[in-house]
Structure 1
């Protein structure tokens, strides 16, 4: 037992620790992170058993030392973190508090949210664990100062969800509960104030992913898309990333649906359920591809509507094969993206 537990302590992404000055370092290609990503921490950890997650109870090691999204999440005193946010406020545009599946997490999420709200004006997102939550909890989250909610559904079919997060892996999570809570969060926080996390590469087809992105849009939420990125020590540590072409097409699908350029019903699929046409003419396709925006990280926005939670290199290694761009892609990036879009 180390007693460095929430709410008095929080884990923080390495990127956020660098942004706040707790850690030294610099980002590949000059990326910046304007969102402070925080994670609740407990000696007993998370009771989830998700196949792809570094925090899974089935992964060996002590919880406070487990990596998450392939990087370390160092632990700091919550009050010190808030003080650093004030010190670095000109660099920051949002803070996100992530729950884990632990019975203490509901109360502690409210506690930490109230501490941050009392001292800063930063917009606060909560990445919630529906398994633990009632409608009243969501109301209390809003009262405490949160204004956006994230729900990590991750897998896009009931079968895949069960295999990777539920009964198939002896985990506590249930598909219906996640979508029920997503709907409740939309009722309480409002349209476009809920982001649904989906992971490309857990065994779904492109058609299944596109249909789920459209479902999220129809509910009034937005999709935050990730490329599967294997975590050492997880059940899926030897599972490959999805092909770049698959991820690029799903990024483009997300952009078109969320920004109302196309609907899923306008897409054309081949015999393997891969998207071969997006409901656009060639000029429209080229214009939107050249923008680069569809291939940037999708996440909670700042007050101007631009992505604040850009998670630099959260789903790929820093290097030439960036999956979710944390900055505007340059001309040479777009040329590579265009080739990947057309690669099957």
Structure 2
């Protein structure tokens, strides 16, 4: 379909509000100077996403007032890709300070029949114009079989890929993303894509996104994290936060204790500091132990708070770039994912939350 005159990908993309602020396209400041380290771009089409995920702001059947058309609870303004490239291509001495803090570009696909080919085009343009590494959050449902997309997007310049499995179990996936809500996604398709992506990009260069608080037990979430690791992928965590007008718009976020325990489990498993067999769960699937005291595993400062920082793709120096400032909550003292290194007062708060409900 001809997209002349339409603000659609590949010529146009949306960017997170934080990303637009970092580019100097939107005004604003960042709580505790938590500048975004990754420019998150979202592909866009006039007829929208074909999926219908119960918790998503892009869902096909989401109802919302015009001023509530958000994704991850913030607006994603549309910009011409050429304008973004023009900003990114400026020499370092001419770039704004916030732009200089960017360490990665991430392109998120939506479930649309044109998205696979258009994503490869966008990756090629950005890789040619900017020295920043480029990653892709892929939508497996629309990809050709056999891993050809992953080979093509790597050849275009991407160095990493993410797969948003989101739900921890097959039953939850089907009930929130699949047939039960009229959605096209299938659990097996997503995990097959993880396996294909690892074959192309290599172990440690693929991530699996998981959302805590969709109705799973802590044990089920730990098993999903372990499964991602078994494929050679890293698990990146998100805390559920309701989108107005979505099917789960009335659900509450998970308790801080639940999220903290899963964060600890993900840190220990992703970094091979422990195994799932060492963990202990009660009869309700709640984590009640990690095999050793946390001080023995992480030290009194809980590994300087690293388990509770946002987990995401790194910059070229190996530090987390995709810190997604306040993607899980409003700015304030009780953060779920810290977009910076927690200080001693933050760690005291975290310690009080781990076993608290």
Query: 1:312 aligned to 2:325?
Result: yes
- Quick check: 1:117 aligned with 2:127? yes
Aligned CA distance change for structure 1 residues 331 and 166 (closer, same or farther; 3 Å): same
Count how many residue pairs are aligned between Structure 1 and Structure 2.
Answer: 344
The equivalent residue for 2:302 is 289
- Which residue of structure 1 aligns with residue 285 of structure 2? 273
Corresponding residue of 1:107: 117
The residue number in structure 1 matching 2:20 is: 17
2:108 is the alignment partner of 1:98: yes
Q: SS where residue 280 of structure 1 aligns? A: coil
Cα RMSD for the two superposed structures: 1.7
Q: Residues 48 and 60 of structure 2 are in contact (CA less than 8 Å); yes or no, is this contact kept in structure 1?
A: yes
Question: CA, structure 1 residues 274+197, in 2 after alignment: closer, same or farther (shift >3 Å)?
Answer: same
Deviation by residue 1:192-239 (Cα, 9 ceiling, x = unmatched): 010000000000000000111111111100001000010011110100
Q: Say whether the 8 Å CA contact 1:156–1:212 is kept in structure 2.
A: yes
- Please tell me whether the aligned partners of residues 85 and 92 of structure 1 are also in contact (alpha carbons under 8 angstroms): no
Q: What is the rounded CA distance, in whole Å, between the counterparts of 1:30 and 1:110 in structure 2?
A: 33
Q: Give the whole-Å Cα distance in 2 for the aligned partners of 1:279 and 1:243.
A: 23
Instruction: Give 1:62 shift.
Output: 9.7
Matching residue of 2:345: 332
Give the structure 1 partner of residue 34 of structure 2: 31
Contact 1:40 1:99 in 2 (8 A): yes
- Structure 1 residue 241 displacement after superposition: 0.3
Q: Distance in 1 between matches of 2:293 and 2:242?
A: 36
The TM-score with structure 2 as length reference comes to 0.93
Which segment is superposed worse, 113-122 or 55-64? 55-64
Map of 1:341 onto structure 2: 354
1: CA distance, partners of 2:296 / 2:207: 27
Q: Equivalences for 1:1-344 in 2 at 5 Å?
A: 3-60=6-63, 66-87=69-90, 88=95, 90-134=100-144, 135-285=147-297, 287=299, 289=302, 291-344=304-357
Classify the secondary structure of the residue corresponding to 1:147: strand
3-state SS, counterpart of residue 117 of structure 1:
helix
Partner Cα separation in structure 1 for residue 338 and residue 52 of structure 2: 29
Work out whether residues 213 and 257 of structure 1, in 8 Å CA contact, stay in contact via their aligned partners in 2.
yes
Uncovered stretches (5+) of structure 1, i.e. residues with no partner: none
Look up the SS of the partner of 2:20 in the other structure: helix
TM-superposition CA deviations, 1:11-62 (whole Å, max 9, x none): 0000000001001101111111121000011000001100000000101369
Consecutive unaligned residues of structure 2, counting only runs of 5 or more, are none
**Does structure 2 retain, via aligned residues, the 8 Å contact 1:45–1:63?**
no
Displacement, 1:285?
Answer: 4.3
Q: State the Cα deviation string for residues 135-188 of structure 1 (Å, max 9, x = none).
A: 111111111111100100000100000011001111000000000011000000
Q: TM-score, normalised by structure 1?
A: 0.97
